[in-house]
């Protein structure tokens, strides 16, 4: 366990706020005159969704979807031996709202290997939405295993394990206002 003072700030809160406001403005422009449904991926996207949604001046609904990843330990690191290539991601909570013919924005904290969002894209598309876009606060393209891109990306970051602003390590640090790098070796 690390003390908060041991964490190095990678993206400070004011930079996050500025970028989230830009993303909200972009979504507002892209969907002018339309309604949208934000679908947040539990639990990491909760803080990002609540800030982003307040920067979008459109008619909007909130929803949440839950997943658990095989091959990833409780501290979010990949387990030795890699991913289970057959059933790597499992749904733990489906959406509550009907998505058919709606504009859906899937909101995720970080796009890493891409396995989670590739799976969720398929789940949402089965609901036959009008449009499906992905908003990811962070992107670690160097770790990608599936060819997926987000439509809205906050920050592209190097291959470091980050916490704060919703992101956790073994369920801790989600409430840090800044995005910080966790020292390796815990």
Q: Which is nearer to Mg ion, 24 or 44 (CB)?
A: 44
Q: Is the peptide bond between 43 and the residue preceding it cis, with omega within 30 degrees of 0?
A: yes
Rule CB under 6 A: say whether 49 interacts with ligand IMP.
no
Q: Which of 104, 114, 106, 173 is nearest to 139 (CA)?
A: 114
112 in catalytic set: yes
Residues that bind Mg ion (CB under 5 A): 44
Rule CB under 6 A: say whether 40 interacts with ligand IMP.
no
Using CA of residue 113, residue 116, residue 117, residue 118, what is the dihedral sign? positive
Rule CB under 6 A: say whether 115 interacts with ligand IMP.
yes
* Whole-number Cα distances in Å, 145 to 37, 56, 184: 28, 31, 22
Select the binding partner of residue 65 from ligand IMP, Mg ion, none (C-beta < 5 to 8 A, by kind).
Answer: none
| Distance, CA of 170 to CA of 167 (rounded, Å) | 10
Rule CB under 6 A: say whether 44 interacts with ligand IMP.
yes
Rule CB under 6 A: say whether 180 interacts with ligand IMP.
no
Question: To the nearest whole angstrom, how small is the minimum distance from the Cβ of residue 109 to Mg ion?
Answer: 5
Catalytic residue among 63, 112, 168, 178: 112
Using CA of residue 41, residue 43, residue 48, residue 52, what is the dihedral sign? positive
Q: Which of 23, 28, 93, 103 is nearest to 64 (CA)?
A: 93
Question: To the nearest whole angstrom, how small is the minimum distance from the Cβ of residue 101 to ligand IMP?
Answer: 27
Q: Which stretch binds ligand IMP (CB under 6 A): 14-22, 32-40, 50-58, 103-111?
A: 103-111
Close Cβ partners of 149 (under 8 Å, ≥ 6 residues apart): 134
Rule CB under 6 A: say whether 113 interacts with ligand IMP.
yes
Instruction: Give the residue numbers marked as catalytic.
Output: 112
What is the binding site for ligand IMP (CB under 6 A)?
A: 41, 44, 76, 108-117, 161-163, 167
């Amino acid at each position: 366990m690390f003390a908060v003072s041991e964490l190095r700030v990678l993206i400070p809160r004011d930079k996050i706020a500025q970028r989230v406001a830009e993303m909200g403005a972009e979504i507002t422009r892209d969907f002018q005159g339309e309604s949208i449904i934000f679908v947040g991926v539990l639990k990491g996207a909760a803080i990002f969704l609540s800030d982003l949604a307040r920067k979008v001046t459109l008619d909007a609904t909130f929803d949440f979807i839950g997943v658990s990843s095989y091959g990833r330990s409780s501290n979010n690191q990949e387990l030795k031996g890699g991913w289970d290539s057959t059933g790597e991601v499992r749904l733990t909570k489906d959406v509550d709202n009907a998505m058919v013919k709606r504009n859906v924005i899937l909101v995720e904290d970080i796009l890493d290997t891409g396995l989670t969002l590739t799976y969720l894209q398929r789940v949402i598309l089965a609901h036959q939405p009008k449009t499906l876009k992905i908003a990811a606060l962070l992107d670690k393209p160097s770790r990608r295993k599936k060819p997926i891109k987000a439509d809205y990306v906050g920050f592209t970051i190097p291959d470091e394990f980050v916490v704060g602003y919703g992101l956790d390590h073994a369920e801790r640090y989600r409430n840090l206002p800044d995005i910080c790098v966790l020292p390796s070796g815990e």
